[in-house]
Structure 1
Amino acid sequence: MRIALFSLLLLATAPALAQIYKYTDDKGNTVFTNQPPEGVAADTVDLPPANTVNIRTPEPPPPLAQENGEEGGQPQPYRSLAIGGIPDEQALRANNGTFVVNAQLDPPLKQGHQIRFLLDGIPQAAPSSDTSLQLNNVDRGSHLLEVQVLSGDRVLQRSTEAFTVQRVHTSSPARR
């Protein structure tokens, strides 16, 4: 019973321990203290609640492809993956914007794997086992083509290629 009474008394005095007092000393200075002064009239200071911030630890970035041919810690299933059908260091001339690209794999596409082509980040067809795709009506200018090897919804390996499409209008007055 004595311990319970002592605990209750301690809890009742806890807010008083956190109180701040304000008074003016004999030289005219304003003094703030946590101890009430003796013989001097002091006002209690009510403070607003302290600001708090919930800090979230950011998620770690995904692992980078490692130099030893591993992406995400998994060994890559193909020694090489490249995009064919796009000329190196020159514009691709396709007056109507139609051309064929292909995924060049070594070794050939394995059972259960599929290929997906993305033009400027947009899938151009459903994933399939076809390693070539005809792109239609591609606008002139610079583009980024990516080929991905998939196992289900998981990307196993990828390759990207930047290229420029040149489209010459055949009824242009300059061609007459």
Structure 2
Amino acid sequence: MLIIFNKPYGVITQFSEHEVYPSLKEFISHKNVYPAGRLDADSEGLVILTDNGALQNKLSDPTSNIEKVYVVQVENIPSSEDLAKLEKGVMISKYITKPAKVRLIEDPMLWERVPPIRKRSSIPTAWLEIRITEGKNRQVRKMTAAVGFPTLRLIRTSVGNYKIGDLEPGNYYVVE
């Protein structure tokens, strides 16, 4: 079985209860499925759950080189030089990230986030599409911060061939 889930903001990617955040068990009724990778509570979007251990390992293992796509709202407007730094790989936590594919995109049509992103009239924001083949803890947030553009909102839209599409936050569907 494979489940495509649109994880809302503020939900933790585990089934056990958490003292602060709602968990997956409040959204997913199927038993014996486990997340293939994680999204931190501050991030939204695609989480794949499966009962297939081999598939879970393949999707989670950075050595599989499976592409993960994120749309990311950052503070300020990065230049092409800033994007080139992200594409080359940046130092985060004593580690240089693998090269990424990064581009500026138009504001995507998304659901409202609750709570909304803070807005500052004096600081513009931009949206990026970032494609990586790793997935270390808070990697995309650390990457954008390392080049001077803090992440305000982060949504994973695909992992390999699996895409979130038009699925609303908190909803899921079963593929197999």
Whether the TM-score (by the shorter chain) exceeds 0.5 is no
Question: Per residue, is there more strand in 1 or in 2?
Answer: 1
Q: TM-score range by the shorter chain?
A: under 0.3
TM-score when normalising by structure 2: 0.25
TM-score when normalising by structure 1: 0.25
